[in-house]
């Protein structure tokens, strides 16, 4: 009976006999039904990209953002329930603002991820609330660590990543991210890879018949704001979260579609032979 949650999924403050919290697992399922989100930690910045499915032709292009700015140097990409993501982002902004008031500086990305993980985990402890139905990828650049990428899940656990993926196409996206030499990529190269990975993930999931918008932002260190360049080439400095220029995104999408067409033709030739 415990394998389907019978009797143990009525409250998120109750464990099943085999140590499972079913409401957290249900929240994770909500994330898996959302569009794919990915993050790439490059040597001079971070790239965030989201597959935003177009649910209606009446929607205004570019509206209903899935990526939000938390502080000047930090952005969040979310998969799952969008209202939960907006609340998560609002809390993250409060944490960043509180840090600036107390310490008179920008919050490190790792500290923000740790605080948001604790906040998210608190929603798994009480029967009067429910877990967040969203997984958020937090990316940014700070002077101490340089480019940083974290992912916070509905359980509250947060991990640091070179490349992170969540949503319905996460498996295909992870497989592609593992092929990349992320520590040696620039953000400009990361943009091209991110577009290709989102298109691959879209083609592999159940919503591939639906149109989608590619939403992409980056946090990069401008040459004038470099504080330090490590021996491994990692750039530390003042980053700024902003949308990737439209022309770069369009070029990256053209190259991604062309690469996928070539792969499809090669697959057809192999099947024929």
* pLDDT tens, position by position, 142-195: 888 899 999 999 999 999 999 999 999 999 999 999 999 999 999 999 999 999
Considering the chain, what percentage of its residues have pLDDT values greater than 70?
Answer: 93
pTM here?
Answer: 0.92
Domains along the sequence of the chain with CATH: 22-272 (3.60.20.10)
Q: What is the pLDDT of residue 3?
A: 53
What's the rounded Cα separation, in Å, for the pair 169 and 171? 6
Q: What is the pLDDT of residues 238-273, one digit of tens each?
A: 889 999 999 999 999 999 989 888 877 766 667 666
What is the rounded distance in angstroms from the CA atom of residue 169 to the CA atom of residue 207?
10
For residues 78 and 37, is the Cβ–Cβ distance under 8 A? yes
Report the C-alpha dihedral over residues 233, 234, 238, 244, rounded to 10 degrees: 90
Averaged pLDDT score across all residues of the chain: 90
Confidence of residue 118 (pLDDT cuts 50, 70, 90): very high
Instruction: Quickly state the pLDDT bin for 127 (edges 50, 70, 90).
Output: confident
Confidence of residue 196 (pLDDT cuts 50, 70, 90): very high
Confidence at residue 267, expressed as pLDDT on a 0 to 100 scale: 67
pLDDT at 199: 93
In the prediction, which pLDDT does 2 show? 45
The predicted pLDDT at position 8 comes to 84
- Per residue in 35-94, pLDDT (tens digit) is 999 999 999 999 999 999 888 888 888 888 999 999 999 999 999 999 999 999 999 999
**pLDDT category, 207, cuts 50, 70, 90?**
low
d(CA 8, CA 23): 9
């Amino acid at each position: 009976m415990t394998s389907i949650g019978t009797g143990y999924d009525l409250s998120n403050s109750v464990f099943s006999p085999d140590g499972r919290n079913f409401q957290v697992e249900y929240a994770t399922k909500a994330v898996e039904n959302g569009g794919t989100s990915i993050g790439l930690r490059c040597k001079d910045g971070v790239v965030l990209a989201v597959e935003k499915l177009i649910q209606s032709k009446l929607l205004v292009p570019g509206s209903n953002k899935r990526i939000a700015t938390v502080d000047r140097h930090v952005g969040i990409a979310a998969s799952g329930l969008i209202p939960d993501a907006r609340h998560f982002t609002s809390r993250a902004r409060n944490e960043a603002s509180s840090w600036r008031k107390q310490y008179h500086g920008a919050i490190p990305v790792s500290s923000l991820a740790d605080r948001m993980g604790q906040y998210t985990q608190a929603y798994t402890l009480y029967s009067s609330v429910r877990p967040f139905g969203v997984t958020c990828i937090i990316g940014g650049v700070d002077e101490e660590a340089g480019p940083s990428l974290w992912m916070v899940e509905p359980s509250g656990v947060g991990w640091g990543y070179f490349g992170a993926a969540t949503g319905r196409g996460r498996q295909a996206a992870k497989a592609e991210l593992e092929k990349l030499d992320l520590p040696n990529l620039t953000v400009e190269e990361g943009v091209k890879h991110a577009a290709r990975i989102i298109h691959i993930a879209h083609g592999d999931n159940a919503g591939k018949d639906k149109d989608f918008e590619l939403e992409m932002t980056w946090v990069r260190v401008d040459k004038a704001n470099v504080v330090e360049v490590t021996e491994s080439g990692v750039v530390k400095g003042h980053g700024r979260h902003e949308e990737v220029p439209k022309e770069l995104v369009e070029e990256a999408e053209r190259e991604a579609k062309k690469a996928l067409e070539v792969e499809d033709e090669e697959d057809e030739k192999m099947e024929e032979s």
